[in-house]
Structure 1
Amino acid sequence: MTIDFSPLYPKLVNLILDTIFVVNESGEIVFVSEACHQLLGYSPEEMIGTSLVKYIHPEDLERTLAAARRVMSGHHHVDFENRYLHKDGHAVNILWSARWAEEDRLRIAVARDVTALRRANQTRDALYRISEAAHEAQTLQALCTGIRSVVEELFPESCLHLGFNDPHTETLTFPDWGNEGRCMDSETLLARAATGSENSLALPMVVEKAVLGLLIIERAATATVFNAADQSLLEFIAAQVATVIERKRADENLRFLAHHDGLTGLTNRSLFYDRLETALRSASRNEGRLALLYLDVNEFKKINDTMGHEAGDQLLIEMAQRLRDCTREADTVARMGGDEFTVLLTDVHGRDSVENAMAKIREILTLPVALGGATVRVSCSMGAAMYPEDGETASQLVSKADSAMYGSKRQM
C-alpha cells in the first residue's frame, strides 16, 4: 500500500532546525519556514512578501546579490557564507545551500546559523594573535597597537581605546598609540563609558583583582549594535589583554632597571658609557663635537647626616629632575653613583655654548629645595671636557671632566 505523505510536508519542513527560504526571481520571499524566528527574530508572516535584500548586512550586499545571480544561472551553492541582520540589530553569520528551480522560477535555499562557530574561531584566532603580538612587541606601545589591530578587525567600523590606571595618582589616561587623530580626551571617554550605549562597551582590564585599566570600544552609529556574544568575546579579550599587559609591563620594568638608576630613573653608568661610545663614533664619522659634564652636589653628606637619608634621597631625585628639565631631549643625563651626575651634550658648537649650558644648570640646581618641611639651598661643582680637544676616547673625556670638577670644588 502506498502512503501519501504530502500532507505532512509542511509539518516536516517546520521541524527542520535550519531555515528554508523560497525566493522568486524578483528577490521576494514567497515562503520561509518557522525556524526563521530563531534565526532572525521575525515570524514567517513578517517575512513572506518582503524582499530578501531587506535583511542582508549592508557590507555583504553586493557579493550576496552576485551569488544569487550565479544560483539563478544554474550554479548550485553549498557553502556560501554571509551576514544578515537580526530583528534586534545584531549580525548573524549564515551558511547557505541554494539551488535554482527552473521549472518554478524559484530560488530554494537552506540557511544555517554559524554565528557561534565563527565567534569561537574568532576567539581562538584573537587569542593566538594577541599572544603573537605580545611575543613580537618590544614595548607596551607596540603591544597596544597590535591589540588594537586585532580587535578592530573583529569589529569593523569600530574604534578601540585602551586606558591605563596609574595606581599612584589614581587617574586613568588614554594614550593615542596606534589611534592618532581619533582618540578623545580621557574625560570624554570616561563620560561615554559611564553613560553607556548600544554602540559602545567599557570593560575593565583586571589581573588578580587589580584594575590595570579600561578597554572601551565604540562603533559608528550606522554599524550594528553590540550583543551579548560580542560582550562575551570582548570580556575574554580584555582578560587576556590585561594578563599580557601585566607581563609586558614587568618585562619593561626589568629592562628599564637594568639600564637606569633605581632612585632617580636616570640613565645608569653602564648605559651612559654605551651612549658616550655611540656619540663618539658618530662625532668621529661626521667631524662633530660633543661635551661631557661631570658634577656633584656640594655638602651632600652634611644634608644626609643632619636631615636623614630620606631627605638625601629626595634631594637627589629633585636634582635629577632639574637636570632633565634644563637639558635637551637629545642629551643624556646619568647618575654615576652617590651624588655624582654626568651630562652628555651632543652636537655642540663651541666652548661658549658649553659654558652657557653649565651656567644654566648651576642656576637651576641652586634654586631652593623643600626637604622635610625645611627649605635648603645647595650648589654643585662641575667640570667639562670636549671632544676632540680634551680627548678622543670615553675614558679620556670622563677623566678630564672628573678632574675639572674636583678642580672647581677646590676653588670654592
Structure 2
Amino acid sequence: MGPTIPPESFIDLLLDALCVVDRDGYVRYVSAASERVFGYLPEEMIGRRILDFVHPEDLEKTRQAVKEILRGELKPHFENRYIRKDGSTAHIMWSARWSEKEQIRVAVARDVTQRKRAEAMQAAMYAISDAANSSDSLPAMFRRIHQVVEGLMSAPAFMVALVDTQGGELYFPYNADRHETRTHGFSQDIGSLCEQVIRSARALLLTPGSSVAFSPQAIDTSHVEVRHHWLGVPLKSSQGVFGAIAVQRQSKSACYTDEDRELLEFVGIQVAAAVERKQMQAQLEHMARYDQLTELPNRSLVLDRIQTALARAAREVGFLAILYLDLDDFKQVNDTYGHAVGDQVLQEMARRLVQGVRAADTVGRLGGDEFIVLLDGIEQPSDADSVAEKLRATLSEPYELPMASLTLIPSIGVAVYPEHGDNHEALIRYADSAMYRMKKGRPDPVS
C-alpha cells in the first residue's frame, strides 16, 4: 500500500470550493478554489463571518437557509449571490449540511455565474421582445425594459436617449430615477454623456471622483464631475447609431463592471431591434390612417372621428357639421403645370384648412382635391356657415408657386347634424350634393 495522500492535496484541485463554517457563522476552513469562486484567497476569508461576503439583497434568504441547515435540513441546491473582492457579483450554488457532532456546517460552493448570466440574457431577450409586442407606446415599452434591466443589475436610474430623425436633436422618451440618485449638476451632463456614447458608438463607464473606467480615448469627460456610477451603451441599427441607453446608481453602491457593460450591450442590441420594430409598426399605422401627401387624416380615420363625434352629439344633444369641398377646375392645374405643382397646391390647401379651424376639429383628405372638415361640438348650426365662408375666403387667396401665381375658387357644401342626417353616410352625401349645387353654373377659370 502506497503512502497516505493528504486530503488538502486533492481538495485544492477541486473546481468547487469546500467551506467549513462554525455555528456562529465564522469561516474555519476554505479550499484553494475560494479565489476562483469568491475572489478571495483562503486566508482572506478564514476567521470572517461568511455572511459578510453575501450580496445585501440575498442576506435575508441566506439567514433563513442557515436556520434550516442548523435544524438538520439538507440544502443540496441552495443559490445566492456573493460580492467578490473586485466588486463583481458571483452566483453560487451550495450543497450544505450540518454536523451536530462537530458543530460545523460543511458546504461545497459551485460558481454558476456564467450559467445564471446566460439564463438572464435569454430571459431578457424574451422579455424585451414581449415588451415590444405588448406595449402600446415607446415609453410603456421602456418602462418594461427598465424592469428587465433591474433584474440583471442595479439600475435605479435608467434612461433612453434617441436622436430625432428630423432635427437631429437628442430627446429622452424615458428617463426614470427610482431612488433620485441624480444631483442637479450631474443631471445636466446626462445628455452630454449620451451624446458622446452615440458619437463614439461605444460604451462609456464612469466611476465617482475620477477617471473613466471604460471608454474609448476619443471621449472627453473632463468637464463632467462624476458623483455616481454611470454606464451607457449605444443603440445601433443597420443605418447606424440612433440612440443610447444608460444606467446609474449611487456612489456608495458597487461600481459597474465590465460584465455589467457586456450585459447592457446585449440589452442594447435587443432594445435597438425592439425600437426599430416599434417605429416601423407606428410608421405603418400612420401610413394606414394618414394621407402621405398632406399628412392629413385619410378617409378611414375621418370616418372614425365622425362616428365618435356623432355618438357624443347624440348623447349630449349637440350639433356638429360636415364640410365637403374641392377646388374648381383643379384638373387644369395638373394638365397645365404638371402634377408636382398640383401637389404643392394641395399641400398649401391642407395647411390653410388646418389653420382655419379649431384644434378640436378634423381636416381630412378624401382623394384628389376633395377634402372634408368635421366641425365637432358647434354651438349652433349657423356656426358651420360662418366657418365655411372663412375657409372659402382663405382658399380663394392666390397660391404663390415658383412657376405661377394661381387663384382657385373652392366649392364648399355644408351638412349639419341632426338637421341633414343622423349618420355619417347621410351627412357626407348631403354635404357632397350641396357642394355640387354650389359649383353648378359657376365657371370660375384658373387665373
* Both proteins in one fold, TM over 0.5: yes
Report what 2:8 is aligned to: 10
Report what 2:57 is aligned to: 59
Q: Distance in 2 between matches of 1:39 and 1:132?
A: 34
Shift of 1:312: 4.5
Letter in 2 for 1:197: L
Q: Are the structure 2 counterparts of residues 10 and 326 from structure 1 closer, same or farther at C-alpha, using a change threshold of 3 Å?
A: farther
Write out per-residue CA displacement over residues 333-373 of structure 1, whole angstroms, 9 at most, x where no aligned residue.
21122333222122222135545655775787689987559
Q: Is 1:217 equivalent to 2:215 in the alignment?
A: no
Report what 2:191 is aligned to: 190
Shift of 1:287: 3.0
- Any idea what SS the aligned residue of 2:12 has? helix
Letter in 2 for 1:111: A
The answer as to whether partners of 2:157 and 2:178 remain within 8 angstroms in 1 is no
Q: Are the structure 2 counterparts of residues 41 and 404 from structure 1 closer, same or farther at C-alpha, using a change threshold of 3 Å?
A: same
Report what 2:225 is aligned to: none
Give the alignment of 1:39-78 within 5 angstroms: 39-78=37-76
Q: Distance in 2 between matches of 1:24 and 1:366?
A: 94
- Any idea what SS the aligned residue of 1:254 has? helix
Letter in 1 for 2:158: L
The answer as to whether partners of 2:156 and 2:177 remain within 8 angstroms in 1 is no
Question: How many residues align structurally?
Answer: 410
Report what 1:116 is aligned to: 114
Q: Distance in 1 between matches of 2:295 and 2:423?
A: 26
The answer as to whether partners of 1:152 and 1:159 remain within 8 angstroms in 2 is no
Shift of 1:75: 1.9
Shift of 1:261: 0.5
The answer as to whether partners of 1:207 and 1:242 remain within 8 angstroms in 2 is yes
Give 5+ residue unaligned stretches, structure 2. 197-203, 208-228
Shift of 1:93: 0.9
**Structure 2 counterpart of 1:396, from 426, 430, 435:** 426
Q: Are the structure 2 counterparts of residues 221 and 377 from structure 1 closer, same or farther at C-alpha, using a change threshold of 3 Å?
A: farther
Q: Is 1:279 equivalent to 2:280 in the alignment?
A: no
Letter in 1 for 2:22: N
Q: Distance in 2 between matches of 1:221 and 1:382?
A: 67
Letter in 2 for 1:280: L
**Structure 1 counterpart of 2:287, from 230, 234, 257:** 257
TM-score scaled by length of structure 2: 0.77
Which stretch has the larger CA shift, 353-362 or 312-321?
A: 353-362
Report what 2:265 is aligned to: 235
Give the alignment of 1:1-400 within 5 angstroms: 1=1, 3-5=3-5, 8-176=6-174, 188-193=189-194, 194=196, 196-198=205-207, 199-296=229-326, 309-310=339-340, 312-321=342-351, 323-324=353-354, 327-328=357-358, 330-351=360-381, 353-354=383-384, 357=387, 372=402, 382-400=412-430
Shift of 1:61: 1.0
Which stretch has the larger CA shift, 176-185 or 274-283?
A: 176-185
The answer as to whether partners of 1:91 and 1:224 remain within 8 angstroms in 2 is no
Shift of 1:396: 3.0
Shift of 1:388: 0.3
- Any idea what SS the aligned residue of 1:347 has? strand
- Any idea what SS the aligned residue of 1:247 has? helix
Shift of 1:263: 1.0
Q: Distance in 2 between matches of 1:404 and 1:189?
A: 59
Which stretch has the larger CA shift, 171-180 or 100-109?
A: 171-180
Q: Distance in 1 between matches of 2:147 and 2:398?
A: 49
Which stretch has the larger CA shift, 349-358 or 117-126?
A: 349-358
Q: Distance in 1 between matches of 2:404 and 2:89?
A: 66
The answer as to whether partners of 1:71 and 1:99 remain within 8 angstroms in 2 is yes
Letter in 2 for 1:399: R
Give 5+ residue unaligned stretches, structure 1. none
What's the RMSD between the two structures over aligned residues?
3.8
Which stretch has the larger CA shift, 341-350 or 302-311?
A: 302-311
Write out per-residue CA displacement over residues 94-137 of structure 1, whole angstroms, 9 at most, x where no aligned residue.
11112222233222222111111011111111222233333434
TM-score scaled by length of structure 1: 0.83
- Any idea what SS the aligned residue of 1:75 has? coil
The answer as to whether partners of 2:92 and 2:112 remain within 8 angstroms in 1 is yes
Q: Distance in 2 between matches of 1:330 and 1:368?
A: 27
Which stretch has the larger CA shift, 193-202 or 370-379?
A: 370-379
- Any idea what SS the aligned residue of 1:96 has? strand
The answer as to whether partners of 1:161 and 1:183 remain within 8 angstroms in 2 is no
Write out per-residue CA displacement over residues 376-395 of structure 1, whole angstroms, 9 at most, x where no aligned residue.
99885544321001222323
- Any idea what SS the aligned residue of 2:294 has? coil
Shift of 1:204: 2.1
The answer as to whether partners of 2:156 and 2:178 remain within 8 angstroms in 1 is no
**Percent identical residues:** 40
